[in-house]
Chain A
Amino acid sequence: MLVEPREASTRPRLGREWSDEFDDAVRGLASGFLIGIPVVFTVDSWWLGDQNEPLDSLTLLAAAYALTLAAVYWIGFRRGLRRGWQYLGDAIEALALAVLALVAVFWVLGQIGDGQAPSIAVGRIAVAIAPVSLGVAIANHLLARDASRVDPDQGDASAMRDSRHLGHRRRALFEFAASAAGALFMCLTIVPLDDLSAITTEVPFRNLPLVILLSLLVTYSVVFAAGFAGEADRHRTPGPLQTPFAETVVAYVAALIVCLTVLWLFGRIDQESTAMEVYTKTVLLAFPASMAAAAGRLAV
């Protein structure tokens, strides 16, 4: 049986058509980034995409559409109950969001549009599109609206914590710890594989400021911009660290600290590493880690 999301009105909501569209799209993109980024951040998937022939890429695209359609039918990324052929359209939209997300990531990393042939772009996008579009398609489950701190389940740790009325300082500490935990989770899946060394070689140094900007933008989107868990509550909460900009920066800084620590723990940087090497590896690793850090903040 299909169950309509809690408190979700049926579309179209009068007067909120465009903001609903924007919220759904950004929420889907953020979810797509969270699920797809480990695959996107694997240099083997880039090389596999390089060797793909265009027809193979189209086959992967068709397979990704079929998987996305199934996920959109059962979960979806849109507000309200969908019907009939709307699922087909939603799956196309999820696929398009995944394409746009991958174009943005690969462009920022200097892997497409920097003298590479169009077939390389198509191959790389085709290899990475399935996890990203699936991430978009399950946004309602992964980043459910009005969950967590606003309406936590009975017995949920965050519900019990809320009942104790934490002070601002304590809450800020909890949120920082949650960000660090999210970043740590992501770092521990990437750093031991040593893909980072190959990615560091492949990404032009001049692109690193763009990587930082995209990291901050996605982090902001995950926590604030798309009507996720507790968004309204976050915008209302007073305190110097409870502004959208400050929370985004704090999440990013938490990710940077965790990245540095994990890189050092696994011997990817040491006292003989140059400042440029440390900077490059940390900024690149903080790209996926900051998204996980932002997701971690939603848990408290």
Chain B
Amino acid sequence: MRSNAARRKSTAEWVTLSLSLLVVGALIVVALVEESHRQEGDAGGLQVTFDTERVARRGDSFYVPYRVLNTGSEAISSAEIWIEVFDGERVVQSAEINVQFLPLQGRQNGIFVTTHDPESHALRSRIESLQFP
């Protein structure tokens, strides 16, 4: 009798086990969903966006916030990106930024400093190279 009681789980134990299965199961489901998203995408997808609404002017310089987003299917260990400032079709300024450790859907925020007013100039980015882990 005592032995049978010892083997039987109490309600509290059943609830704990059920919640535990739920937690671990949720982690596995999230990993599988992320894996399916990853397989749908291409390696090496990188998106650079400039937030020209939040430009700050300090003296002769304009501080332009930007965001680099890894939209590809692999983590990126290093990326070299050229940022170019255009006056019409003419490049008037260019600079290289280096981004380290961009996980899947990872982002890196930064500020690009230029002496050209972003309202009258166009900012464009160009991927120079990518390295994977």
Shortest distance in angstroms between B47's beta carbon and chain A's nearest beta carbon? 14
In the complex with contacts A58-B28, A117-B106, A96-B20 CB distance below 8 A: yes
Which of A89, A95, A120 touches B104 (beta carbons < 8 Å)? A120
- In the complex formed, the residue of B with least CB distance to A47 is B101
Once the chains are docked, how many angstroms separate the CA of A282 from the CA of B106?
29
Q: What secondary structure prevails in chain B residues at the interface with A?
A: helix
Shortest distance in angstroms between A101's beta carbon and chain B's nearest beta carbon? 11
Number of chain B residues whose Cβ lies closer than 8 Å to a Cβ of chain A = 38
Tell me if B1 is interfacial: C-beta within 8 Å of chain A: no
Contact indicator A17/B12 (Cβ below 8 Å): yes
Q: What secondary structure prevails in chain A residues at the interface with B?
A: helix
Contact indicator B27/A99 (Cβ below 8 Å): yes
Number of chain A residues whose Cβ lies closer than 8 Å to a Cβ of chain B = 42
- In the complex formed, the residue of A with least CB distance to B31 is A54
Contact indicator A11/B13 (Cβ below 8 Å): yes
Which of B8, B23, B28, B106 touches A12 (beta carbons < 8 Å)? B8
Contact indicator A17/B27 (Cβ below 8 Å): no
20 example contacts (A-B, Cβ-Cβ < 8 A) are as follows A11-B10, A12-B13, A17-B12, A21-B16, A53-B38, A53-B75, A55-B31, A81-B6, A92-B21, A95-B20, A95-B24, A96-B20, A99-B23, A99-B27, A100-B23, A118-B34, A119-B34, A122-B30, A122-B31, A126-B31
Q: Which residues of A contact B (CB under 8 A)?
A: 10-12, 17-18, 20-21, 25, 47, 50-55, 57-58, 61, 80-81, 83-84, 86, 89, 92-93, 95-97, 99-100, 115-123, 125-126
Q: Which residues of B contact A (CB under 8 A)?
A: 2, 5-13, 15-17, 19-24, 27-28, 30-35, 38, 74-75, 77, 101, 103-107, 133
